[in-house]
Structure 1
Amino acid sequence: MFSFRDGSYGARIDDNSLLIQLYADDIGLTNPIGAKKDQHKMFMVYFSLEDVPDQYHSRLDGINLVALCNSRILKNITKARRFFEPIIENLNQLQSQGICINGNKLKFSFSTMIADNLAAHMIGGFQSSFSNGYFCRRCYTSYADRNLPILMATAVGRTCIDHDDLVQQVTADPQKSPLMGIVGKSLLYDLVGFHSTTSLPGDLMHDFLEGICPIVIMTLLKEASSLRLLTY
């Protein structure tokens, strides 16, 4: 698998459509060290086209700014939805109508929203706490069971159908929030081609480099130490 098109969801998209990928992240405008490092933090949304040749994927001139706002604004759900409204409207219009360049009509399709876990949960309508409850946006493993040896075959994954059902329950009765890790509708709920369970890929950098890899390395070091191969 080399791109979104190689997956089961990407295979359903018209090959003649250009894939639009969104990327969201916070940036700090002040010194990143200190008590006031979050005082002027900005939330940035970018887009790029996935169908450009591989050698151009990481070029800065291929990554374009879509919108930005103060991160604190997004803590208010009403203001957060207002922030994403024009993005959704423009992308839906682009997907339905396309654009014409020199008489050639170009079609577009939304693919994924790339973000770190915190931003992905905020955008997807999942709980933002990772230290309790149902903290995973892919399955229903609870925080209490996170260290249990659960087989992939027995893990219960989130599906579009049960996710939508839970969202409806939370929408009808906000007192149930968070329900199985869901706090409400996604901020991109009305975006054509988006769904919280399929459009928010994993945060590989944090999950692996700051999550799994340190645990594996520490386990290897402890085993090597117990075998007197080295000391640490």
Structure 2
Amino acid sequence: MIYSEKSVALLILRMKEYHNLTQVAVNEIVQEVSSLLNASFDSSRKCLENLFNSGKEISGGEKGNVIEKFNQHWQTWDNSLNELSTPCKQEKYIKENFGFVEPEEICNGKSSCTKGVGASQVIYHKTHNIYYVPIKSTIQSLFKNQNFKQAFSTACQSKIHPDGVLENFNDGEVAKRSTIFTTPDVIRLVLYYDDMEVCNPLGRKSSVHKLGLFYFSILNLPKKLLSKLQGIFLIAVALTSDLKTFGIDTVINIIAKEITVQKGGLAAIVADTLACHQMTGFKEGVGFAHQKCRTCLCNFNDMNTKFTENEFVLRDLKTHTEIHCKSEDTVATGVNRRATILDVEHFNIFEGSPHDLMHILLEGCIPYTIKLVLGHYIQAKSVSLSQINESLKNFNYTYLDKPTKPSPILLQHLIGVVVH
């Protein structure tokens, strides 16, 4: 009975979470499956009765035992479907049997709003909430899963590679210098934050319902699992407008306290430039700061004329907390406030907040550089645009690359580089 109920519950979860079916669709499918099972049961029972009535020698006691076991088997599946026939029953079973972690509702701030017009207008207080999924409860639930425990144990037994070989976080200088990541079984957490638009970004409702989402992942897993969706866990959800109005530090403060009491630490925070600056207290609009970078103290001219690390003065934690965070000249320092993320023990924001390679390189410098290179050779008549497009078309792409092969390059893509 327990096995059959679990199988039905897993089927329902797959339909809802993997295939994004609505609750109405799930309920209808459960009812239809129940009807099919009942029809199959009736048909199978008639076959058994025909067999017993065919004249073959079967004692009455044996016949009764077979029919009784058959009825019990089918009744088990029928009961399982009935036990999970409504959303309330489904939710109750999932919470009790699948390590569900209940989110908490936390007040991020309150505001006064008006409702109605004229004489009927009233003022009411609106609560702006954050929905928080405790990290501790999530980790405890994960370690109850044998597959996760095995994957965690396997990753913890992997050896650190020799100098010069970088395969995972443990091979890097930050991990080797750390005072907390000294043993393999210390949990290494990565915090991620980004916004998500749930409405049409071109419509009039854009940004009204925009959500800020916080996640974490655990680096103590085999590398093949690190980027899997199953290895990324939700921490908190809040309206982006609320985070801008009341600040992001309410969420970060809770996360910092939870990480401090875990058997582990924060290895890195991963986000785009805007989100990372919001979490670390730097100016989100870097164009308004004289010192725009969160890694060094460069100005705009230096950014355009110097390109190696030894040409810049790097930021450090002591100067940041004692001088920059207390300075009232936020435009000069590029620092808006002392961020709560600094309260996370053993975490250095200048070592643990890597820059966003996707936006900076893959969607920034690299396409622009390729554009300049192609424009140079086309202008020098070393190659033509049609020849480049023909090569792109006839290239022997692998099975995995075919769906994302490059589109033909148009002349307008190279405007400003190629002289017409």
C-alpha separation in 2, matches of 1:49 and 1:118: 23
Cα 1:206–1:146 shift into 2, 3 Å: same
Contact 2:191 2:270 in 1 (8 A): yes
Contact 1:122 1:128 in 2 (8 A): yes
1:192 maps to which residue?
A: 345
For residue 92 of structure 1, report the CA deviation from its aligned partner: 1.1
Alpha-carbon distance between aligned partners in 1 of 2:271 and 2:208, rounded to the nearest angstrom: 21
**Are 1:81 and 2:249 counterparts?**
yes
Indicate if the aligned counterparts of 2:324 and 2:333 stay in contact, CA closer than 8 A: no
- What residue in structure 2 maps to residue 129 of structure 1? 285
* Maintained 8 Å contact 1:47/1:64: yes
TM-score under structure 2 normalisation? Answer: 0.48
Moved more, 55-64 or 148-157: 148-157
- Equivalent position to 1:71, from 227, 240, 259: 240
Q: Which amino acid aligns with 2:230?
A: D
Range with bigger deviation, 41-50 or 54-63: 54-63
**Could you tell me which residue of structure 2 aligns to residue 47 of structure 1?**
216
How far the C-alpha of 1:228 sits from its partner, in A, is: 0.9
Higher strand fraction (1 or 2): 1
Structure 1 residue 120: Cα displacement = 0.3
- Identify which of 260, 283, 298 aligns with 1:92: 260
CA distance in 2 between counterparts of 1:18 and 1:151 reads 34
Write the deviation string for residues 21-51 of structure 1: whole angstroms up to 9, x where unpaired. 1111111111233343211111111111101
8 Å contact from structure 1 (residues 158, 197) kept in 2: yes
Name the counterpart of 1:154: 311
Q: Is the 8 A contact 2:188 2:220 kept in 1?
A: yes
Q: Report if aligned partners of 2:248, 2:278 keep a CA contact under 8 Å in 1.
A: no
Cα distance in 2 for partners of 1:151, 1:90 equals 38
The Cα offsets for residues 146-172 of structure 1, whole Å up to 9 and x where unpaired, read as 2214443212222223222333432xx
Instruction: Give the match's secondary structure for 1:131.
Output: helix
Identity %: 26
- Check conservation: 1:45, 1:66, Cα contact below 8 A: yes
Greater RCO, 1 or 2 (C-alpha within 8 Å, sep 6+) = 1
More displaced stretch, 202-211 vs 137-146: 137-146
Task: Name structure 2 gaps, 5 residues minimum.
Answer: 1-165, 386-410, 412-420
- Paired residues in the alignment total 215
Contact 2:286 2:334 in 1 (8 A): no
Answer yes or no: is the 8 Å Cα contact 1:166–1:182 preserved in 2. no
**Distance in 1, Cα, partners of 2:223 & 2:367:** 30
Question: Where do 1:165-176 residues align within 5 Å?
Answer: 165-170=322-327, 175-176=328-329
Structure 2 CA distance for aligned equivalents of residues 73 and 187 of structure 1: 17
CA–CA distance in 2 between the matches of 1:10 and 1:53? 17
Q: Which amino acid aligns with 1:228?
A: K
The two structures, once aligned, show a CA RMSD in angstroms of 1.9
- The residue that corresponds to 2:271 in the other structure is 115
Higher helix proportion, which one? 2
TM-score when scaled to structure 1?
0.84
Extract structure 1 runs of 4+ deviating beyond 6 A.
none
